[in-house]
Amino acid sequence: MADRLRPRALAAVVGQEHLTGEGGVLSRMLANASLGSMVFWGPPGTGKTTVARLLANEVDYAFEQISAIFSGVAELKKVFEAARLRRSNGRRTLLFVDEIHRFNRAQQDSFLPVMEDGTVVLVGATTENPSFELNAALLSRARVLTFRPHGPDSLVKLLARAEAAEGRPLPLDEEARAVLLRMADGDGRAILTLAEEIWRAGRTGEVFDADNLQDIVQRRAPVYDKGQDGHYNLISALHKSVRGSDPDAALYWLCRMLDAGEDPLYLGRRLVRMAAEDIGLADPRALGVALAAKDAYDYLGSPEGELALAQTTIYLASAPKSNAVYVAYKAAMKAAREHGSLLPPKHILNAPTKLMKDEGYGAGYAYDHDAPEAFSGQSYFPDDMERPVFYRPTERGAEISIGERLRHWAELRGKRRTQD
């Protein structure tokens, strides 16, 4: 059905109006009768192949399609030679390369001369971020156009076309239709395929509710690649939801990743990082909770151990937040790198030998437990280094009392220096 309903004109393309509509980039190119090389970047089922075919048809270019999964250097040479022959006869070639990111760097370089001399207009399609997957040289010669996932409105339009072509409505109640739109996950090809499955399963007069729909089409695996953008986008969403103190959103993104097959131990490790980076000493228990969840999953496995990850996600998102430890660590690391190999002050060095005692090691050291309030106020920084302040506790959670102690000690330190 997806192939049968493929648009016959660019104006009929649904969901990419920012490219194909009036004033869109592709519409402007066609108005000027001039196509340049492009990279179409977007998720599956958003019309990348269809738009490439329509562009070639609009400007009367020969359309050649190859897939980087099945093609190598030998196939590319044949395509380039055929394109040169066409050009010598006065016709240009639009070369559509599906999954172009799967070509290695050397194979990508082979496109450069034929792009530059006009042998082909290259249109590459990729689901991966071109910035990471394609050569800089290729990207400098091609414009990247982003194809967006289909929203509910464009999916409804696609279903309406399918129903018109089929001559009958989908046998779904209102709730089931809404579930179907969500199942498509922004993929136009997928919603048409799902519609076909529903029509095949339906009996005369039968109308499916949401539960029946789940049974008929089972479920569609979410778009997610553990090594690519999907992975990084979702872990970023989880981390920022925890940082933003939204336990419901954080739990949703955790479940999205688990449902997509993410390694739960990876999620456990990231929760440990969140506890240290975004909560810190505002709730000193948070790090222990996160470590316990990781160990609980390691001990129980799936699915039982995943509940510990969910509990920790909610705990971290609900905890008071502070990045004071994170900021202090970065500042201290910067100072350590900038000040070189300064020695500790001699009064805090041990003196196990007579020579070291004669050199002044340990001289004047004050044992803090013998000082009033167990605080001597001595300097522990190198003698040639001005005392910095790295850790600045927030006025949130347990850091409130930590800040009070540090301010008190700073006051004592100042008084004792004055006395000295």
> Digits of tens for pLDDT over the chain (420 positions)?
777 888 888 888 999 999 998 888 898 888 887 789 999 999 889 999 999 999 999 999 999 999 998 888 888 899 999 999 999 999 999 999 999 999 988 899 999 999 998 899 999 999 888 988 899 999 999 999 999 999 889 999 999 999 999 899 999 999 888 888 888 888 899 899 899 989 988 888 889 888 888 778 765 545 555 555 667 888 999 999 999 999 999 999 999 899 888 889 999 999 999 999 999 999 999 999 999 999 999 899 888 999 999 999 999 999 999 999 999 999 999 998 888 788 888 888 888 888 888 888 888 888 999 988 999 888 888 888 889 999 999 999 999 999 999 999 999 988 877 766
**Contacts made by residues 386-390, CB under 8 angstroms, sequence distance 24+:** 388/331, 388/335, 390/327, 390/328, 390/329, 390/331, 390/332, 390/335
Angle between the N-to-C axes of helices 306-318 and 247-259, in degrees from 0 to 180, rounded to the nearest 10? 150
Which of 238, 203, 328 has its CA nearest to residue 277? 328
Q: How many angstroms separate the CA atoms of 389 and 372, rounded?
A: 24
Q: Residue 182's pLDDT is what?
A: 84
Burial 332-355 (b: 16+ CB within 10 A, else e): eeeeeeeeeeeeebbbeeebeeee
C-beta separation of 41 from 129 below 8 A: yes
Residues composing the chain: 420
Specify the long-range contacts of residues 194-202, CB closer than 8 Å, at least 24 apart. Answer: 194/220, 195/1, 195/159, 195/162, 195/170, 196/1, 198/170, 198/171, 198/172, 199/166, 199/168, 199/170, 199/171, 202/171
Enter the DSSP assignment of 143: E
Task: Report whether 398 contacts 284 (CB < 8 A).
Answer: yes
Token pair 């738009």 is found at 51
pLDDT of residue 71: 82
Task: Report which of 95, 82, 12 is spatially closest to residue 56, judged by C-alpha positions.
Answer: 95
Query: What domains are there in the chain, each with its CATH number?
Result: 10-146 (3.40.50.300), 152-217 (1.10.8), 229-318 (1.20.272.10), 341-419 (1.10.3710)
Q: Nearest 5°: CA angle at 372, between 367 and 376?
A: 45
Residue 158: closest CA among 135, 130, 190, 133 = 190
Helix, strand and coil in the chain, % to nearest 5: 55, 5, 35
Sign of CA dihedral 255, 256, 259, 261: negative
The pLDDT of residue 302 is 86
* Contact in structure between 124 and 153 (CB atoms under 8 Å): no
Question: Are the beta carbons of 119 and 148 closer than 8 angstroms?
Answer: no
- Alpha-carbon gap, residue 34 to 7, rounded angstroms: 22
